[in-house]
Amino acid sequence: MHPASQLLSNDAVRKMYEQYQGKFVSFARKYYDVPPEDAGEIYHESFIKLYENLQANKYKDSGYSLHTYLFGIGKNYIKKYWERKERTDKVRQIPAQEWLLQYYKNHEWEEAQDVARRLIYESAGDCNKILQLYYWERKKMTEIAQLMDYKTEQVAKNKKRSCLQKITLELKGRLKKIGINWK
């Protein structure tokens, strides 16, 4: 026998279940626009949770009634209901063309990242090293200047900017060759 069926076999519990059911369904429909059949299911889940909480001594009479406690549980289930429904509806609303466009944009982005990564690794000595130190190893420009034997931090900044300009031009060209238009 299902636990919920066992629960409702107790006369006192069944009476309480029936006592609040209509009120809850009306409440869910009126204030949260839940369809009647879903409101009934939410009530059932809420009542089972109330019963479990009573069994586990989680409900302590702290100035609010079982009715208020049950409806509080129900509000949480209603919130979860609308969150699930919203996610499902959003997925349904994405037309196939839009989905394909999103997929190809992501695919192009990944391909562009691969091209950029290869380009940096292929770049000549100092450019490769300064970009690696700055972007991958997260070194500060003062540290880079010391490691690269530049006279000042400003020389390192200028070198990095110059390298980025060269790589950006080359990257645009390579992306264009494979059909990715980058701005």
pLDDT at 75 over 50: yes
Any idea how long the chain is? 183
pLDDT at 149 over 90: yes
Instruction: Tell me whether residue 99 is exposed, middle or buried, using C-beta atoms within 10 angstroms of its C-beta: 0 to 12, 13 to 18, 19 or more.
Output: exposed
d(CA 170, CA 150): 25
Contact 128, 170 (CB under 8 A): no
Residue-level pLDDT at 156: 93
Examine residue 135 and state whether it is found in any structural domain, yes or no.
yes
Examine residue 140 and state whether it is found in any structural domain, yes or no.
yes
d(CA 75, CA 96): 35
CA-nearest of 155, 182, 143 to 132 is: 143
Examine residue 105 and state whether it is found in any structural domain, yes or no.
no
Examine residue 125 and state whether it is found in any structural domain, yes or no.
yes
Residue 136 structure tokens: 């991958």
pLDDT band at 69 (very low <50, low <70, confident <90, very high): confident
Q: What percent of the chain has pLDDT over 70?
A: 80
d(CA 86, CA 91): 9
pLDDT at 183 over 80: no
Q: Residue 2: in which H helix or E strand, if any?
A: none
Question: What pTM did the predictor assign?
Answer: 0.46
The domain boundary residue, chosen from 63, 93, 123: 93
Residues 16 and 88 in one domain: yes
Q: What is the pLDDT of residues 79-123, one digit of tens each?
A: 999 888 876 665 555 554 455 455 556 667 778 778 887 887 787
Kindly write down the DSSP assignment for every residue of 132-177, as one continuous string.
IIIIIS---HHHHHHHTT-SSHHHHHHHHHHHHHHHHHHHHHHHHH
Residue-level pLDDT at 105: 62
Residue-level pLDDT at 116: 80
Task: Output the CA–CA distances (angstroms, integers) from residue 101 to 45, 119, 182, in the order listed.
Answer: 40, 27, 16
Domain ranges, residue 68: 3-93
Residues 120 and 163 in one domain: yes
Residues 88 and 147 in one domain: no
Residues 43 and 13 in one domain: yes
Structural domain count, the chain? 2
Least confident of 35-39, 71-75, 78-82, 101-105: 101-105
pLDDT band at 4 (very low <50, low <70, confident <90, very high): very low
Tell me the CATH number at 31.
1.10.1740.10
Residue-level pLDDT at 182: 65
Average pLDDT, the chain: 81
d(CA 110, CA 169): 19
Examine residue 172 and state whether it is found in any structural domain, yes or no.
yes
Residues 37 and 89 in one domain: yes
pLDDT band at 5 (very low <50, low <70, confident <90, very high): very low
